[in-house]
Amino acid sequence: RMLGRLVRHKSKSIRNKSLVLSRFSSTRGAVATQVWGDAISDIKKANTYKNERIITSPQRGQITVQNTSTPVLNFCANNYLGLSDHPELIQAAKNTLDSHGLGLSSVRFICGTQDIHKQLEQEISNFHGTEDTILYASCFDANAGIFEGLLTKEDHIFTDSLNHASIIDGVRLSKAKRAIYNHMDLEDLDQKLSASDSRIKLIVTDGVFSMDGDVAPLEGICDLADKHDALVMVDECHATGFIGKHGRGTPELLGVEGRIDLINSTLGKALGGASGGYTTGKKEAVELLRQKSRPYLFSNSVAPAIVGATLETFRILQTSTDLIEKLSANTKLFRESMTQAGFTLSGNPHSPITPVMLGDAGLATNFANQMLEKGIYVIGFSYPVVPAGKARIRVQLSAAHSTADVETAIKAFIEVGKNLGVIA
């Protein structure tokens, strides 16, 4: 009998192993695997495949990268104010871990709202001079939730042709009518607004466009909003904390504070670089988003440590403008020196986003690789991240960079530029 049980057990074990093997050797999904593999091959052939370099240090002006023997200067992070490894933010995060725990294991409306979440929302409202604020896990979520939450098929969205992908995706989720106006083209926007008789008209634009460094013509946009009884929403991810005298973004820079109805921005760039985003503006809009915005309703609360660190960020911004001024000086030095060297730069001079235009995708990748060999970490951007034929290296200055760091980067750009025939 024991022998029989052993034989039956062995037989069952063999059948189970055969079943597992048959699952792994199944041809199910072969078509999808082929399609995806071909797509990857096409991306590589087009020289637009994006490799991820592995950083082995905190995010700062000088970092260490896997497979490089010495530290490199980082000129491609959104760490505009150099706060990503700031000791006071790190300590604030540690303190909040002790006082409020690691996470909430809940969405906000169930049991995921702590006192510090409300404090941060109030702090953001005070900073922007708005009525109320709602926190999200990211600004991508804020953009994904705002249009569907606030607008219906009776309404109309007017969106800049170069707005961020998160805005594009968010607009697609809404049932509102949509009109795409030419990039920063006020005449085209005026014509499209004139043709609409919708209930709510919402003009949507990036404040600073992340790939080009352009600053939206907000004064003209607000004038058109007044003319056509429209609302204005601005995505300030690449402006909050460092654009404008006090870091209040493009509305402060362009003198239209109080004329912007809705602002979406992030905690994951200049304000510490972790994660989190928000919508701030009219209290009725924020209240409605708390009831209807799906990314807010179905995503966990922003982690307490991030909330605590961000509260410290706003304290620093209210105390001093030194970091903003340092970033501005670095931007001015880099732009003036690179232009003098013969490079073609894009973007607004107030923006630390400084695209070095190269055109060809392969050239941009090769240029970035040679820069890394010289100790400068930059990335080549090409289609589909930017339009075909407009490949570039997007340089991002930081207050974490010393004057010597910026000069070192300029020298490397000139050497590689001459080597690759970009400049004479």
> Which residues are known catalytic residues?
210, 238, 269
CB burial of residue 45 (10 Å; 0-12, 13-18, 19+): exposed
Distance CA 206, CA 250 (A): 9
CB-based burial label for 301 (10 Å; 0-12, 13-18, 19+): buried
Task: Compute the Cα dihedral for 292, 295, 298, 299 and give only its sign.
Answer: negative
- C-alpha distances (whole Å) from 6 to each of 1, 13, 15 are 9, 10, 14
Question: For residue 109, what are its two tokens?
Answer: 């409306």
Label each residue of the chain as H, E or C: CHHHHHHHHHHHHHHHHHHHHHHHHCCCCHHHHHHHHHHHHHHHHCCCCCCCCCECCCCCCEECECCCCCCEEECCCCCCCCCCCCHHHHHHHHHHHHHHCCCCCCEHHHHCCCHHHHHHHHHHHHHHCCCEEEEECCHHHHHHHHHHHHCCCCCEEEEECCCCHHHHHHHHHCCCEEEEECCCCHHHHHHHHHCCCCCCEEEEEECECCCCCCECCHHHHHHHHHHHCCEEEEECCCCCCCCCCCCCCHHHHHCCCCCCCEEEEECCCCCCCCCCEEEEECHHHHHHHHHHCHHHHCCECCCHHHHHHHHHHHHHHHHCCHHHHHHHHHHHHHHHHHHHHCCCECCCCCCCEEEEEEECHHHHHHHHHHHHHCCEECCEECCCCCCCCCEEEEEECCCCCCHHHHHHHHHHHHHHHHHCCCCC
Burial class (CB in 10 A: 0-12, 13-18, 19+), 200: middle
